[in-house]
Amino acid sequence: MEDKYHKKNMLSDRLVCANITCVMENDKRSETIEKLKKAGKAEFLENGYQRASLRRICKNAGVTTGAFYFSFESKEALFKAILEPLVNQYEAMLGKLMQVEIDDPGTGVDADKLMMQFLLAHREEAMIIMHGAGGSCYEDYHLRVEEFMRHSFAAYYRSQLGYEPDETLIRVLAKMRLEGAMAILNENIDMEKKMYLTEKIGIHATGGTEKLIESLKKEVHR
């Protein structure tokens, strides 16, 4: 009876040790992944995707190349792991704000400010996508955002005009709004000034949008 009890305790102890080892290994792997993501972001920010060196990333992260490939399949997998959370958040936020603006045209300036706050909070990732994504899965991401904004702009003007707006006009307007935000983000000025510019340009854009809608409505009645 005592022998069975002893064996049961030994088995229980082994299971506990195995679980502890598994947790420690998972923690170590998570720590390695975070180190690689941090070093990778710095490397991509400085050199862009194409010129980024896995050797430098591993050296700066303090891990071996073997540890890298245990964590990520490739350089692009690391690149995607760094940027995908931002991209998903950005698109979800952009979609919600554009819908709010369609429902309430007076919220445009506030929407622009919220988007700028988000981009400033993730400035390094945004700069990598804008200037360092060549050769990666995000190389043409700006075109994807332009297309997303074009659809949103078309929906907004359709709701205000009651008919389908000119496709080229909408494409240019969407591109202008996106490029305006990126221009502010690129400026070497403090956050307060960036937010100030975002607000003032948003006010200017809102006034221009109202006048444009009035002009387009008059064209229909000519």
Domain regions of the chain by residue span: 2-71, 75-220
Give the residue among 81, 64, 69, 105 at the shortest CA–CA distance from 208: 105
Calculate the CA dihedral of residues 163, 167, 168, 169 and round it to 10 degrees: 30
Least confident of 83-87, 143-147, 210-214: 210-214
What percent of the chain has a predicted confidence (pLDDT) above 90? 45
Is the confidence at residue 161, as pLDDT, over 80? Answer: yes
Give the CA distances from residue 167 to residues 101, 109, 164, in Å, rounded to whole numbers and listed in that order. Answer: 20, 24, 8
Q: State the distance between the two ends of the chain, measured CA to CA, in whole angstroms.
A: 101
pLDDT of residue 190: 92
d(CA 16, CA 18): 5
Q: Residue 8: what pLDDT?
A: 54
| Residue bearing the bigger pLDDT, 21 or 56 | 56
Rounded to a whole number, what is the largest CA-CA distance in the chain?
Answer: 101
Q: Which of 172, 207, 182, 171 is nearest to 116 (CA)?
A: 182
Instruction: Look up the CATH number of domain 75-220.
Output: 1.10.357
pTM above 0.75?
yes
Give the dihedral of Cα atoms 88, 93, 99, 105; nearest 10 deg.
-150
Q: Is the model's pLDDT at 138 over the cut of 70?
A: yes
Q: Look at the alpha carbons of 81, 82, 83, 86 in this order and tell me if their dihedral is positive or negative.
A: positive
| Structure confidence by residue, pLDDT tens digits, 3-27 | 555 555 655 555 444 444 444 455 6
Query: How much is the mean pLDDT over the chain?
Result: 85
Yes or no: domain 2-71 corresponds to CATH 3.40.1590.10: no
